[in-house]
Chains A and B, each alone.
Chain A
Amino acid sequence: MAASSRGNLGAALAVFALLGFACCAALFIAPDEATMHAIQRIFYFHVPSAWTAFVAFLITFIANIAYLVTRKPKWDWLGVSSAEVGLAFCTVVLVTGPIWAKPVWGIWWTWDARLTSTFVLWLLYVSYLLLRTLLADPERRPVFSAIFGIFAYLDVPLVYFSIRLWRTQHPQPVILGGSGSGINAVMLRVLLLCWAALTALMILLLRERYRLERMRHETDELRFEIEGRAADREMAGKGRG
């Protein structure tokens, strides 16, 4: 127990050291962007957060399928943990986006294809987590939430495709013409470093959240058992009386 918690602490420290280094790299090592200057540096956390969220949702989707196939509770725990962590990263994307957009585009939000799709993605996984809290039956909860999780993930490509199609048919309200294909080599390296740091953070959070879910499951089972025994004792007492 002590060894494993020391191990966790070590892993956490390593992740935070990596995050700190990535932060420094994004702030000091990456070259200044020609037109946007300092505000562009939010990009090093905005974009990797989006990638990390997608990875987390992919893990949820795989865990949902694995649960329905194997019916092992560990897949259910992984599914909900990953969805929660993914949602946190997705929230970071939705918050850092407008912070960047206000000085650069002059507005906080626009119904652009990517922004809108990310928002819908966020809503889908909010619904998924909400559904879990409202399903009381401990046997049905993992099955039904896995079914909804699979539907939600299948919806993602349809959402992206339809919103892209929808937006390209309309004039763009904000001009940021053909986005920077071709990125400075140092910038790219810093970006990948930040992604590695955020992915490490995601795995750390996922592990902790998974442990929490497992403990919750164990306490539920213990409580159920205690209640069962109490009921038995009561019945026995009545029988004697």
Chain B
Amino acid sequence: MTTSRAAAIILAKELRAEFRTRELLNTTIVFALMVVVLFSFSFDPTSAESRRYGPGLLWIAFLFAGSLMLHPSFAREQANDTLNALRMAPVDPFAILLGKTLANFCFLLFAELLLLPIFSVLYNVSFVGVLGRLLLVLVLGTLGIVITGTVFSAVAAQARMRELLLPLLLLPVLTPLLIAAVEATIGLLGDPPELTRSWLAVLIGFDVVFLTASWLLCDHLLEE
């Protein structure tokens, strides 16, 4: 079986498992929404301030939501020891990782896309003219979060205090991604809106570096 076909099957399995309960998506969306609402209480921003600080808030909400949401990705497999069953399948281990990464990408992007219009209405920030470019930044940023996050989820699943450990591992590594995504989004909300090449380059570089690293290291990550 080719890697892409195996990854597609894993992806389908993850999506099916999630859409039966929708636990992960519901909790993630409500959590991110709360972060956005609490922002208003703690800073009471004006419309101009929302445009300036909103992107930072949005990406912090996405990062926190991602670092909580990615934890069950591998921890869920432990209840019935299903990870061993997956490992025994005659497929490239990277396919397992890739399938899970893509599933997490779908979940997180879905949550982000739901949150975006709510944020836009609550803080009077319009994304209408830049939707396409914003989607590009969202896709690249989310990819970075889930590529590193899925690997760390497999690592944290084997540790004590794993719910707390995952954000601890993930957030410092995501620093460059956070900076690039926030700055790119601020650029899009500026007047005139512009998408800075260098920030896009950082996002793409981040995704490429860590996707390559997880491809090289996944045999060790999923061994035995």
User: A residues engaging B (CB < 8 A)?
Assistant: 68, 120, 123-124, 127, 130-131, 134-137, 140, 143-144, 146-148, 150-152, 154-155, 158-159, 161-163, 165-166, 169
Give B151-193 interface residues, CB cut-off 8 Å to A.
151-152, 155, 158-162, 165, 168-169, 172-173, 175-176, 179-180, 183
User: By the criterion CB–CB under 8 Å, are A144 and B155 in contact?
Assistant: yes
Residues of chain B within 8 A (CB-CB) of A134 are: 159-162, 165
**Apart from the given pairs A124-B172, A162-B202, 8 other A-B contacts in the complex at a CB distance below 8 Å:** A146-B220, A147-B155, A150-B217, A151-B173, A155-B173, A158-B206, A165-B199, A165-B202
Give chain A residues whose Cβ lies under 8 Å from the Cβ of B223: 143
A131 contacts B176, C-beta separation under 8 Å = no
CB pair A130 B165 closer than 8 Å = yes
B8 at the interface (CB under 8 A from A): no
- B221 touches A (CB below 8 Å): yes
In the complex the two chains form, is A131's CB within 8 Å of B221's CB?
no
Q: How far is the CB of A127 from chain B (nearest CB, A)?
A: 5
Cβ contact of A158, chosen from B160, B162, B165, B205, cutoff 8 A: B205
A sample of 23 inter-chain contacts (CB < 8 A) reads A120-B172, A123-B172, A124-B172, A127-B168, A131-B155, A135-B158, A135-B159, A136-B160, A140-B158, A144-B159, A147-B151, A147-B217, A148-B155, A150-B217, A151-B148, A151-B151, A152-B172, A158-B202, A158-B206, A159-B175, A161-B176, A165-B202, A166-B179
Name the residue of chain A whose CB is nearest to the CB of B183.
A166
User: Chain B's interface: helix, strand, loop or mixed, by majority?
Assistant: helix
| A130 lies within 8 A of B168 (CB) | yes
B213 in contact (CB, < 8 A): yes
Q: Which of A136, A143, A163 has the most CB of B within 10 A?
A: A143
Question: Which residue in chain A gives the minimum CB-CB distance to B152?
Answer: A148
B175 and A131 contacting across the interface, CB-CB below 8 Å? no
> Which of A135, A144, A146, A150 has the most B CB atoms < 10 Å from its CB?
A144
Q: What separation, in Å, do the CA atoms of A218 and B213 have in the docked complex? A: 32
Contact present for A154 and B213 (CB under 8 Å) = yes
- Assess the A155–B176 pair: CB atoms within 8 A: yes
B19 within 8 A of A: no
Minimum CB–CB distance for A193 against chain B, Å = 34
Q: Which of A120, A131, A143, A154 is the one whose CB lies under 8 Å from B169?
A: A131
Task: Judge whether B209 is part of the interface by a CB distance below 8 angstroms.
Answer: yes
